[in-house]
Structure 1
Amino acid sequence: MKYTVFYKTDGTVVSIASEQADIENIRIGTFEVPDGNVIDSIDTSKKEHVAVSHATPMTNAAELAAVKKQAELNSAGIAELTDVVMNGGSKA
């Protein structure tokens, strides 16, 4: 089996991929990607190439958990304010 190996000049292996027939057209770049995102492709339509990415389900779950927590805090705050308005803040 053949592999395409990306390695440094000292022989340190950076990455291994299955054989690539056209290695002359492979480019290497460093791209900024938001935390929790996965790279889908590289947009080469502009002079400066950029990574195209999407959020992973785990990232979405973490964001939803944060929104849920904030909603719970908001709900508790609204209940407390309602008590103050309706009962003058007295606890029965």
Structure 2
Amino acid sequence: PIQIFAGDQHGLNTLEHQPQKIAAMEANWNTGPNVPLVLFAWPDEAAKENRFELTIPDGASVVLRHSPSGVVPGLNDYPGNHPPVFPVFWGFR
């Protein structure tokens, strides 16, 4: 249905114009290919890593770039210039 297409287009638009938000939504710290989709985690901003992750391999790359090897931006590319990770990550779950 239209919701699938509209949701995908909205995600791609957000990736283009607000990559920091996407990185926080996905709790993705490092830019790179083959980025997993994080289903559950405890984002730790001080350590710049996730605790207790449950992921789907290559999932974020597939969703955001339509390719398992698609490069997805990470929070470490935006030091001090990204939204708080914990509430954004859990707000989109």
Shorter-chain TM band? under 0.3
Q: TM-score, normalised by structure 1?
A: 0.20
By percentage of residues, which structure has more strand? 1
Q: TM-score, normalised by structure 2?
A: 0.20
Looking at CA atoms only, which structure, 1 or 2, has the larger radius of gyration? 1
Higher relative contact order (CA 8 A, sep 6+): 2
